[in-house]
Amino acid sequence: MSKSDIFVMDARLNTMAITMPNLIALAFFALLCIIGLSFGLHSLIVGHEHTFGTTRYVPWGLLIASYVFFASMSTGLCIIFAVLQTFDVKLFRPMLERVLFLAIITIAAGLMSISLELENPWRVPIYGILSANPHSNIWWKSTIYSMYFALLVINLIMLQTGRYKMAVKVGLIALFACLLANLNMKADMSVIGSRSFWRDNYMPIYFIIQSAILGCSGILFANWIAVKLDPKIITDDFNIALKFISKILGFLLIVAGIFVCMKIYSGFYPESPDNQKAMSLLLKGDYAFNFWLGEFLLGVVLPFVLLVISRGIKLSLLVVASISSLVGMFYMIYDLVVVGQLVPVFSQYNFIDFPEYWSYSPSLHEFMLFVGAISLIVAAFIAWELFYKIRHIH
């Protein structure tokens, strides 16, 4: 079969996948994305102090957590994509570009979250160039992730135009950039009062493991959506590839479980007085629900059990495991960002009328922006699958 015949066949499959239910799903998520963006624009107009739940004492909230979540997922996807592309694993060729596109739209959602969290987002590209500060880790983060996004787009263009060798080189550069930015998150956490919430020595590994879990879970969930849009993509190679990803996810969940056990140990048998109050709040205080249901049950136990039961074969169980893992990882990131800030920096001095903990609750605007970012990913992915198919028969 010639390449022209392959593209014609693929185009016919695309046409068959463009059904009314699929178009309704695309319109629904696109509308949610627009609504989320409208809330962000409203915050820029009236001021974040009137629409966000953050304060001078708790300056980072839901949108920072969502930025870390989406950026980490994109990092995990890029790691998997770069490895598969570099070694040219034939088994994953039908879904290779799907993973790349997912990495692009997840980092786009992350950049959307962090941009609309800023009061003056337009200043970032202007003064990031005119008055660059190499001593600022935030400047490095914004610069590296912007370059990373551009490299992913270039990589996708090269794959679509058949320049595979150059695409591999660009993919490796993008991998280096995203790993550099991901490891720099440790420095970000040291900027605010949450710097003592987690042991610095473990933070780089912690973020990489989270990213890899999010990447694997994102692949399983995205391919489930692709199957719902067009069941004809299911082949023996497709099932084997998903089974392989599920095995990697299972191993990573075991490693994540070790980190969760370390949190439990630090909370009940604290060795660091700076860490004690935050861990107590997480494990036994107001955020205990987040930890035990979100981080422990949904983030580690349930997805691992479902993966074992499914044996990497049953797609329905795999997608439930991936959703559970995604929700649990978000809880982990949200708690990491927020809980450490709730302990006043000078609480150990016992000032009069000084609260034991600060408080934070996401506002409607923050929540809708988060929903808008998720909807951006889903809508863009559905549009890509329906109108610009990346699946080719090899």
Distance (Å, whole) CA 283 – CA 275: 12
Of 214, 158, 233, 226, the closest CA to residue 384 belongs to 226
Report, as an integer, the average pLDDT of 75-89: 86
Q: Is the pLDDT of residue 137 over 80?
A: no
Please name the residues in contact with 97: beta carbons below 8 A apart, sequence gap of 6 or more. Answer: 156, 159, 160, 390
Of residues 113 and 129, more confidence is placed in: 113
Query: Are 385 and 25 contacting, i.e. CB atoms less than 8 angstroms apart?
Result: no
Report, as an integer, the average pLDDT of 166-190: 79
Distance (Å, whole) CA 65 – CA 185: 12
* Residue 145: predicted pLDDT: 85
Write down the residue that tokens 């409203």 correspond to.
Answer: 42
**Torsion angle of alpha carbons 191, 193, 197, 202, nearest 10°?**
10
* Residue 374: predicted pLDDT: 96
- Both tokens of 293, joined, read 């249901």
pLDDT in tens, 218-241: 999 999 998 888 888 878 888 888
Q: pTM for this structure?
A: 0.89
Complete DSSP assignment for 350-386: --TT--SS------HHHHHHHHHHHHHHHHHHHHHHH
* Residue 56: predicted pLDDT: 85
User: Which H or E element spans position 124?
Assistant: helix 123-130
* Residue 5: predicted pLDDT: 46
Please name the residues in contact with 217: beta carbons below 8 A apart, sequence gap of 6 or more. Answer: 249, 303, 321, 322, 323, 325, 326, 329
Q: Angle at CA 16, nearest 5°, toward 392 and 215?
A: 50
* Residue 303: predicted pLDDT: 95
Query: Are 339 and 194 contacting, i.e. CB atoms less than 8 angstroms apart?
Result: yes
pLDDT in tens, 328-346: 999 999 998 888 788 877 6
Distance (Å, whole) CA 345 – CA 277: 11
Please name the residues in contact with 392: beta carbons below 8 A apart, sequence gap of 6 or more. Answer: 6, 7, 10, 93, 94
Q: Is the pLDDT of residue 323 over 70?
A: yes
Report, as an integer, the average pLDDT of 31-58: 92
Query: Are 356 and 337 contacting, i.e. CB atoms less than 8 angstroms apart?
Result: no
Please name the residues in contact with 46: beta carbons below 8 A apart, sequence gap of 6 or more. Answer: none
The 10 Å Cβ neighbour count of residue 90 is 11
Please name the residues in contact with 19: beta carbons below 8 A apart, sequence gap of 6 or more. Answer: none
Lowest mean pLDDT across 38-47, 66-75, 332-341? 332-341
Of 65, 118, 96, the closest CA to residue 334 belongs to 65
Domains of the chain: 3-387 (1.20.1630.10)
Distance (Å, whole) CA 21 – CA 250: 33
The 10 Å Cβ neighbour count of residue 140 is 18
Q: Angle at CA 284, nearest 5°, toward 278 and 188?
A: 25
Distance (Å, whole) CA 331 – CA 325: 10
- Amino acid 230 reads D
Q: Is the pLDDT of residue 366 over 90?
A: yes
